[in-house]
Each structure stands twice: as structure tokens, then as C-alpha cells.
């Protein structure tokens, strides 16, 4: 079956696909049942707290749910790589039925030890489900829709967490003396989820021939070695684990903040945790929208910065209502941070090792959760710091980490900032971007009407475009570092040899399958009309090389054009003027300057 393709450019084309909808329901019901049962176990543990040793069971329940992700992550990765991921999802989902049958017996017994055993089995099932779940997305969704798919996945997951936790409280308070009814409800949810899994899209096995390894940590070691070969992927796993560390730390610190600083009731503290979860879900949906039709890794440092500022604000909040607002913002910006990282890891991991990489990521995430517990114990219990100061300090560290993230991916960060500024200050309308293929070399050529033209040309494709830039502009001290991050190719028109070297470099980039852009007019128009095209592009384009004509209009009279004018006098032309960018069908590399100019001019009609 082909991958789901997003033609409408929004979430509806994903949700209109019944196979993907079945996948979301399968995941939602699984997360819902997990958190429902976890809440029941927690409430039983609280009820047993007055008994000898009963108080330790509440902490033990959290550890029991994390343990399988550490012990069996490698096995889960191997299964996801060796077999069809859709089949792995269906089989592991069916195991939830068996687990819940055992769970009925545990509930009837009323023994917390038996309930913890079932919780361990449920976590084990979730562990085997996870790598197949995340690896399933890039095998069924095109890159154009992978960010949105992750946004929907995270949104439904966190909604399931909130509803499952709340419903668990209601179910226990209603039927705590009717364990069969409680267990039957859990079993029914497991059955419905398993039936939903039968309708998800079938995918073939990835083709891995790696033999099965009994050592549970073999895959984690090998996955770590694979990540070490790709710096960006390794940093992506670190970033996702950092998110889990911060999330777990905040979730625990919120409980302390509610008691120490906000003097909140138990129900109010529950709403604080709910606000965080709902914020992450909404932020995940927003991240998919902002990313649009491509992987927007540059959103991660922006999300980290905003999450840090919101967390700092949470630490300084002095009232319950303000804490609720800050927690929504923390969760929302956290979604902006983690969704592009998840999407990137899924899409860029090698197909035959995707399960291994995702299992290694799961292992690292759980290590982050465990470290968060130890970190909170160190700061709060040992050093005596108040929860508010711990949260505020976490915000400062999180905001600082955004600088490190941006330094590691400067190209993605700068491109995201420039695109965001363009969408904020201009009503950008792009037509014909489908003419630029997702792979293969080519030369983008556009008319030159303003100083912002390169931004609009770059917005025509999610691919990286290397621009040829006039060297005096490239050498501006403040801008030079930015141009280097953007991989600009400086050209010195005053000297023939450097010019030839720059054009040869551009040609080699095109031959290597990259996109290069230039403005054949050689300078910004002084009249608003299309000028004569120079012959320099002919040194980069040979017969067989596609040349993509692009026309930009709507900027003549803007302060960024040569017509210019004082900023305030041109206010009606400054705030979100309509900029139309049209990409025409490619010309062959043998086209003359006159033919290329005519192609660009035709796009103006």
C-alpha cells in the first residue's frame, strides 16, 4: 500500500485516512488503559499506606512501569526491525487482552503485589509496542506529513493520559468494592483497542537480517554506536531524553509546589498536572502545523527557549491561577520542542535499523526519567531547596540549552527564523512549488526586486538552497557568520578568477544533487522592471540540468526595495503586504539568457 500523501496541506487529509485513524485509536486506547490501570494501582497503594510497608508501594508502582523499558527495550527494537511493524502492533496489542484477564484476578485478590505484577506486564506490552509505533509512521506517511502525524500522535496520547487518569479515579471510587466490574471495563477497552489495530495499514518487514540477540542490552549498545556515527541523530536522542528529564522533573516538582507555595488541595494539584499534559498535546498539534509539509528541525531551539522562559515564569508564579497558565505554556512550548525531534529521528533513521534506534531512544528517555527522580531528591530533600526555586532554575537551564541546540543546527535554526519573520511580516503566496523535485540537483533563478528575495526563493522548497551572493555583502562583519551558516557562495565580480572558482563550486554542488539559487539580473532592479539577464548562470547549467524560473512580485515600493521610502510613510506597504512567488516548469540547462528571462517574465502574467 502507498504511503499517505497530504494533498490538502492540513490535518484533515491525515484524519480522512481510515487506516491512520485506526492507528490513532489503537494508540489512544492503549495509553488510556495504561494510565487508567496505573491510577487504580496508585489508589490501592494509597489505601494500603496505613499498613506495614504500604507507603512504599506508591513509589514502587512508578518504578515498576519504567523497568521494562530498561530491561526489554533491545528486544522490542529487534522485533520492530525483523517483522512487519503493523503485525508487531497487532500482536502486542492483543497481549493487552491477556494482561487484563490476569488483571481481573489481581483486582479480585486485592493484593497490591499482584496488581504490581500486572502493571509490570502492562508496561512490558507498552515497551514492545513503542518502537513499532514510532517506526510505523515514516513507513506509512510521506515526509510531507510526518510532522503533522507526530503532532496528532502526541496530542491523542496526552489526551489519553489526562482522561485515563481522571477516569481511573472515578472508576475506583465507584467500583472499588466491585473488582470484577473494574477489571471487565479494562478488558473491554483492551478488546476494542485490539480490534482497532486490525484496521491499521499493513506494511512489509523492513528487511533487516540481523540475527536475534538474547542479550537484552545488545541492541542498545549497537544503537548507541549507530547514533555515534551521526552527530545530528545522536543529539536528537539527547534532546528527546532531555525533554523527558525536564517533564518528569516538573511533574514531580509540581506536586511539591502545590503543597509548599500554592497551598493547593489534592484536586487542584491534579488540575496542575492536567494543564501540563493538555499543553503538551496542544503544542504538539501546533508543532505539526508550523512545520507544515517538511521536517522543521529549526523549531526545536525556539521551543526550548520558550519552554525555558515559561518554566522560569512557573517557578516565580505566586498564585494557583497563574501557575495553571504557566503550566499550559510550559506544556505547549514543550510540544513545539519535542515533536520536530521525534519526527526527525523517525524519518532519518535507516529503515532496517529504525526499531533499534527508536528502542535506544526509549531506553535513553527512561534513563532521563530516573535521573529526574534522583535530581529532585538531591536538590529538594538533600540540599533543602524549595520546589519553586528548583522549577525556576530548571527554566534557566532549559532556556540556556536552546543556545546549544541552535549552535548544533545553525542552518535549520536560521532558516526557521527567516521563514517565520517572512510569514509574520508578509502574506506569502507560493505557486508551482511542486515543480521543484524532492531530490536531484538544479538551479533556481529569480528576478531581483528586493533585499529579501533570497528568503522568498528559499521558501519555495523545504530543501536546503545554496545562494550565490555578492561578496561585498557577504563580507559585512555582522552578516558574514549568518551567510556561512546558510552555506552561501560568495562571488567577487571584480576579479575573474574568484568568480570562476565560485561558479565552478556552484556547478559541482548541482552535479552532486544540491540546489543552488542566483539572480541572473546581477543586481536589484532600480525601476521595478525586469532587467537583462547576465550569462553567468550558463557556467553552472549544462544540458540536462534543470533550471527553475521563479518570479517574485508585490515588493516594489516596500522599504526593502530600491524604491524604498521612509518606513512609517510606507506603513501600508510594510505590514503584511501580499508577496506572490511563482515557480515555473523547469527549463533545460542549455537555455539562453533570453529564453530564461522570457520564462520568468511569463510567470508575471
The domain 230-408 having CATH identifier 1.20.1250.20: the answer here is yes
C-alpha cell of residue 421: 519573520
Sheet holding 442-446, edge to edge: 427-431, 578-583, 547-553, 442-446, 515-518, 465-470, 489-491
Q: What is the pLDDT of residue 32?
A: 94
Region of poorest pLDDT, from 139-143, 243-247, 574-578: 574-578
Q: What is the pLDDT of residue 55?
A: 47
3-class secondary-structure state, position 146:
helix
Q: What is the pLDDT of residue 7?
A: 40
DSSP per-residue codes, 363-395: HHHHHHHHHHHHHHIIIIIIS---HHHHHHHHH
pTM for the whole thing? Answer: 0.84
State yes or no: pLDDT of 193 exceeds 90. yes
Count Cβ atoms within 10 A of the Cβ of residue 568 and give its class: 0-12 exposed, 13-18 middle, 19 or more buried.
exposed
User: CATH: 3.90.79.10, 3.40.50.12160, 1.20.1250.20, 1.10.3470.10. Which one for 13-202?
Assistant: 1.20.1250.20
**Residue 587: φ, ψ to 5°:** -100, 160
Mean pLDDT of the chain: 87
Look up cell 522549577; give the residue.
Answer: 391
Looking at the chain, the whole-number percentage of residues with pLDDT higher than 70 is 94
pLDDT in tens, 214-268: 888 888 999 999 998 989 899 999 999 999 999 888 888 887 888 777 877 767 7
Tell me whether the CATH fold assigned to 13-202 matches the one assigned to 420-602: no
State yes or no: pLDDT of 174 exceeds 50. yes
CATH T-level assignment (fold) for domain 420-602: Glycerol-3-phosphate (1)-acyltransferase (3.40.1130)
Beta strands in 291-365 (DSSP E): none
CA 269, CA 256: separation in Å to the nearest integer? 9
Mean pLDDT, range 395-404, rounded to an integer: 93
Mean pLDDT, range 80-99, rounded to an integer: 93
C-alpha cell of residue 571: 506603513
Locate the domains of the chain by residue range: 13-202, 230-408, 420-602
CA 239, CA 405: separation in Å to the nearest integer? 8
pLDDT in tens, 515-561: 999 999 888 888 888 888 887 788 787 788 899 999 999 888 888 88
pLDDT in tens, 24-69: 999 999 999 998 988 888 777 766 654 544 445 656 777 888 899 8
Q: What is the pLDDT of residue 48?
A: 62
The residues, ordered by sequence, that sit 6+ positions from 399 with a Cβ below 8 Å of its Cβ are: 304, 305, 307, 308, 309, 312
Q: What is the pLDDT of residue 270?
A: 75
CA 186, CA 183: separation in Å to the nearest integer? 5
Region of poorest pLDDT, from 12-21, 238-247, 453-462, 533-542: 533-542
pLDDT in tens, 322-341: 999 999 999 999 999 999 99
State yes or no: pLDDT of 23 exceeds 60. yes
Q: How far is CA 447 from the centre of its chain?
A: 35
Q: What is the pLDDT of residue 8?
A: 40
Amino acid at each position: 500500500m502507498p504511503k499517505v500523501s497530504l494533498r490538502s496541506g492540513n490535518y484533515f487529509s491525515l484524519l480522512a485516512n481510515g487506516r491512520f485513524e485506526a492507528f490513532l485509536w489503537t494508540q489512544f486506547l492503549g495509553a488510556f488503559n495504561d494510565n487508567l490501570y496505573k491510577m487504580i494501582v496508585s489508589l490501592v497503594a494509597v489505601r494500603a499506606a496505613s499498613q506495614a510497608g504500604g507507603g512504599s508501594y506508591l513509589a514502587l508502582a512508578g518504578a515498576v512501569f519504567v523497568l521494562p523499558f530498561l530491561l526489554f527495550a533491545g528486544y522490542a527494537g529487534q522485533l520492530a526491525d525483523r517483522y512487519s511493524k503493523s503485525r508487531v502492533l497487532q500482536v502486542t496489542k492483543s497481549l493487552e487482552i491477556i494482561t487484563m484477564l490476569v488483571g481481573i484476578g489481581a483486582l479480585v485478590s486485592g493484593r497490591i503485589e499482584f496488581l504490581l505484577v500486572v502493571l509490570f506486564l502492562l508496561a512490558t506490552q507498552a515497551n514492545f509496542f513503542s518502537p513499532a509505533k514510532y517506526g510505523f509512521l515514516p513507513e506509512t506517511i510521506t515526509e510531507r506529513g510526518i510532522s503533522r502525524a507526530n503532532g496528532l500522535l502526541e496530542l491523542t496520547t496526552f489526551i489519553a493520559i489526562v482522561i485515563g487518569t481522571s477516569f481511573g479515579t472515578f472508576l475506583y471510587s465507584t467500583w472499588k468494592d466491585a473488582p470484577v466490574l473494574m477489571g471487565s471495563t479494562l478488558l473491554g477497552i483492551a478488546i476494542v483497542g485490539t480490534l482497532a489495530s486490525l484496521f491499521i495499514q499493513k506494511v512489509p518487514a523492513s528487511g533487516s537480517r540481523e540475527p536475534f540477540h538474547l542479550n537484552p542490552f545488545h541492541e542498545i549498545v549497537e544503537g548507541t554506536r549507530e547514533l555515534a556515527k551521526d552527530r545530528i541523530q545522536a543529539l536528537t536522542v539527547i534532546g528527546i531524553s532531555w525533554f523527558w528529564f525536564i517533564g518528569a522533573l516538573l511533574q514531580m516538582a509540581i506536586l511539591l509546589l502545590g503543597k509548599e507555595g500554592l497551598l493547593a488541595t489534592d484536586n487542584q494539584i491534579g488540575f496542575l498536572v492536567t494543564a501540563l499534559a493538555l499543553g503538551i498535546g496542544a503544542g504538539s498539534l501546533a508543532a505539526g502545523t508550523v512545520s507544515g509539509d517538511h521536517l522543521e528541525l529549526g523549531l526545536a531551539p525556539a521551543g526550548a527557549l520558550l519552554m525555558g522562559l515559561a518554566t522560569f515564569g512557573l517557578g516565580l508564579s505566586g498564585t494557583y491561577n497563574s501557575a495553571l497558565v504557566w503550566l499550559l505554556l510550559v506544556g505547549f512550548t514543550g510540544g513545539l520542542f519535542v515533536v520536530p525531534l521525534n519526527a526527525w529521528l523517525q524519518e532519518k533513521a535507516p529503515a532496517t535499523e529504525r526499531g533499534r534506534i527508536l528502542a535506544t531512544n526509549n531506553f535513553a528517555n527512561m534513563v532521563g526519567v530516573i535521573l529526574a527522580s534522583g535530581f529532585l531528591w538531591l536538590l529538594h530533600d538533600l540540599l533543602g531547596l524549595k520546589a519553586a526555586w528548583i522549577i525556576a532554575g530548571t527554566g534557566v537551564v532549559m532556556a540556556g540549552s536552546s543556545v546549544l541546540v541552535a549552535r548544533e543546527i545553525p542552518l535549520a535554526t536560521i532558516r526557521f527564523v527567516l521563514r517565520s519573520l517572512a510569514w509574520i511580516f508578509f502574506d506569502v503566496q507560493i505557486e508551482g512549488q511542486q515543480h521543484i523535485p524532492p531530490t536531484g540537483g538544479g538551479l533556481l533563478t529569480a528576478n531581483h526586486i528586493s533585499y529579501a528575495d533570497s528568503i522568498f526563493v528559499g521558501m519555495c522548497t523545504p530543501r536546503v538552497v545554496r545562494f550565490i551572493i555578492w561578496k561585498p555583502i557577504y563580507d559585512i562583519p555582522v552578516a558574514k557568520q549568518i551567510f556561512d551558516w546558510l552555506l552561501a557562495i560568495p562571488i567577487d565580480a571584480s576579479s575573474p578568477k574568484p568568480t570562476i572558482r565560485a561558479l565552478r563550486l556552484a556547478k559541482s554542488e548541482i552535479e552532486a544533487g544540491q540546489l543552488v539559487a542566483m539572480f541572473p539580473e546581477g543586481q536589484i532592479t532600480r525601476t521595478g522592471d525586469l532587467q537583462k539577464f547576465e550569462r553567468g548562470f550558463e557556467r553552472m547549467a549544462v544540458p540536462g540540468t534543470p533550471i527553475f524560473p521563479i518570479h517574485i512580485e508585490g515588493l516594489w515600493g516596500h522599504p526593502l526595495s530600491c524604491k524604498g521610502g521612509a518606513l512609517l510613510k510606507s506603513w501600508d506597504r510594510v505590514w503584511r503586504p501580499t508577496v506572490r512567488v511563482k515557480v515555473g516548469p523547469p527549463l533545460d540547462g542549455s537555455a539562453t539568457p533570453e529564453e530564461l528571462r522570457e520564462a520568468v517574465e511569463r510567470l508575471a502574467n
